[in-house]
Copies of this chain bind each other. A is one copy, B any other.
Amino acid sequence: MKASIVTIGNEILTGHTVNTNAAYIADRLLTIGAGVVSCHTVGDEIGVIVRALKAAIKEADVILATGGLGATADDLTREATAKFLGVKLRLKKDLLRKIEYRFKKRNLKMPDNNRRQGYLPQGAKAIENCVGSAPGFKVSFEGKSIYVMPGVPGEMKAMFERRVLPEIKKRLGLKLNAGRGVTVIRKLNCFGASESQIAEEICDMCGRERSPVINFTVGYGVVTLHITAKGLSLSEAAGKADEDVKILTKRLGNLVFGSGEEGLAEALGRCLRERRMSIAVAESCTGGLIASELTEIPGASEYFKYGWIAYSNTAKISELGVPARLLGRYGAVSEQAARAMAKGAREKARADIAIAVTGIAGPAGGSKQKPVGLVYISVEMKGLKETQRFIFSGSRDFIRRRAANTAINMARLAILEVD
């Protein structure tokens, strides 16, 4: 089954609201094996809404529309849907009574504006809104279904989960044997090689005609493989996807750190917890990013005890015991400084493993010998001491995040190596 999403609202087009509704709906539909083929975002104007519905109905079996169901004059989705269907709006008396009752219950007089919400396109079936005043509705067109839901995320989600998703699921169940199939996506998260290096490694699996299809996304050095499998049943599609996950995990080895939504910090946390190890971090240019990522994971206090943001030289000396003459000779951004920071952090925290990072995040502070983006990362644990030099390019934010991810991954690999 193919789905298309139509999100309606000027606030999305102006960029003031990020379109989280579309991502939410798409994600939930995939869990039941329905794929979203397109998403159209338009403003509160009858003409453009009609155009979007026309485009969506060509592409999909089911349309999920959100927004424009409020009580004010700029809420035009009801009118536009009627126009698209070639029918009139009709007052649904029972619906209006329900809306009136919502206000009555709270001892409020219903504003006249809200009467608008009692009108639906002829033939439409109202969908109850348990959270807010705007009812949704469902219409059919040429054997296809159009669900129209409110744009407020909380109201949309409640309506989608309670009323819309179960109906689509049921319909999908009945149609499963009709031959169009279901889609399942698995994700594998990698670090330590570029997107194109990984693609080369597994090029025999990356063909567009192959099934499952493998797609790549990248963020701050994390390369995520999306494995999209199709099948006639959920178990068939899941089976294919999981088989690919197994093959890829074996072939890519330690490049793979997790699956699904698991990030690097979670993967390192798992390594630490499984071995009952503790960790300490000493950060200069990453300025707390590594610590904040590690402590974002629930239960991090089991393994994370101490962290320092030794931003100044005096902090490196007084808090981590880095010798002043070392800083004088090699500078704060040096292999020697990184190593001394890791040593100091590990000793002071009595931690099993310590990470230290020092570098130049920019935009200022670089020189010819030590350019912006130069970062030293040191990891120290029993049986392993390692310091690496990196040159990252990009903005301050990018350099910091890339350095933090690289450091977390180095700690993960160090633990696996010593095992």
Contacts and interface: CB of A to CB of B under 8 A. Distances in A.
Interface of A: 9-20, 22-30, 35-44, 48, 51-52, 55, 59, 70-74, 106, 111-114, 131-132, 152, 154, 158, 185, 187, 194-197, 199-200, 206-208, 213-219, 224, 226, 228, 281, 283, 286-292, 294-296, 298-301, 304-312, 314-315, 318-319, 348-349, 362-365, 391, 393-398, 400
Contacts of A73: 199, 206-208
Contacts of A43: 37-38
Nearest to A398: B154
B16 A226 contact: yes
A286 B296 contact: no
B306 A319 contact: yes
A37 to B, nearest CB: 7
Contact of A114 (B11, B196, B207, B395): B196
What copy number does this chain have within its complex?
A: 2
Nearest to A155: B394
Given A16-B185, A154-B394, A287-B300, 4 more contacts: A15-B26, A16-B215, A40-B41, A74-B213
B305 A314 contact: yes
A362 B72 CA distance: 31
A363 to B, nearest CB: 6
A287 B296 contact: yes
A226 B363 CA distance: 30
Contact of A286 (B18, B206, B226, B292): B292
19 contacts: A10-B215, A10-B228, A11-B215, A12-B23, A15-B23, A16-B187, A16-B226, A19-B19, A22-B41, A51-B55, A70-B196, A73-B206, A112-B200, A113-B199, A132-B394, A158-B394, A292-B400, A299-B364, A318-B348
Contact of A19 (B22, B207, B219): B22
Contacts of A363: 298
B13 A216 contact: no
Contacts of A12: 22-23, 26, 39
B299 A287 contact: no
B294 A304 contact: no
Centre residue among A72, A152, A396 by max chain B CB count within 10 A? A72
